[in-house]
Amino acid sequence: MVSRQIQNYQFEQTGPSSAVFEGDNGPGHQAAKQAMEHAIEMAKENGVAVVGVKHISHSGALGYFVEMAAKQDMVGISMCQSDPMVVPFGGTEPYFGTNPIAFSSPSNDERIITFDMATTVQAWGKVLDARAKHQSIPDTWAVNAKGEPTTDSRDVHALLPVAGPKGYGLMMMVDILSGSLLGVPHGVHVSSMYKDLTKGRDLGQLHIVINPAFFTDLNEFKKNISTMLDELKAQPAAEGYGEIFYPGERGRLRSDKYDKDGIEIVDDIYDYLVSEDVHYDRYHGKNRFAE
């Protein structure tokens, strides 16, 4: 078993294919990146790696970390906790977070399959975006304080799980694997990103890396993935859809466009970004969303 200090973090390999990464409530992005780097190295040697990351802050898009594995000819799976802002199926009060899951796989060419999804119908950021643009939302996204579906982006009390009881089960699974499994707070006990900024959030995250070469011929595996993508792209699209996209394809097309044309943001976000002040006041409020 290995235990060694890495900057302000602590990495402990607890078995040939298992490890725990102590984040010391530091930046989640850096902790998650380093933990995935360790998971990749372990999977190179042992075929599979499972690394739990505990006591971290928000780590951003999980898709970035699973793509690290795909770029090393491996399959990456990640999941993590988030603020309790989702009602259980049939409930009225938030219990779980949006608890995202991400997956990435290489192919035999430059294409990488990546999906990064919240286990809610829509991510909380989409609600914030609708508010900033003074737009309504579909009535399938969220509920008000009475547990009723709402289209008013400013009347959101909680989000809804994707696919009803299926999403509810998925977000529970994520919370168990990235929370309870690592001994960090679960469900409604997870701290808010929008309230007390003086305390650590103690979030948990789980990385799983699978080395295809331990299960089949690597080149054949990648060739099969490329064939799958070719077959999907050749499928006839339903009316109104134009073409079939594989997971991650549209995101890459948007990224290329943003690199070329820039990213459109609303005025208040621009003003916040260029301000010399740190606007702690925007996080002070009466509810879990600091409003």
- Cα separation, 290 vs 237, in Å, equals 43
Cα 61 to the center of its chain, rounded Å = 5
The one catalytic residue among 58, 134, 189, 279: 58
Cα 274 to the center of its chain, rounded Å = 27
Annotation marks residue 38 as catalytic? no
The closest of 159, 92, 69, 176 to 121, measured between CA atoms, is 159
In 57-211, beta strands by DSSP E:
75-80, 101-106, 112-117, 142-143, 158-159, 203-210
3-state helix, strand, coil in the chain (%, to 5): 35, 20, 45
In one-letter notation, the amino acid at residue 122 is: Q
Q: CA dist 151 to 155, 165, 168, 170, 246, Å?
A: 8, 21, 21, 25, 30
Residue 146 · residue 158 · CB < 8 Å: no
- Cα separation, 159 vs 141, in Å, equals 6
Token duo for residue 199: 């305390």
Catalytic residue positions? 58
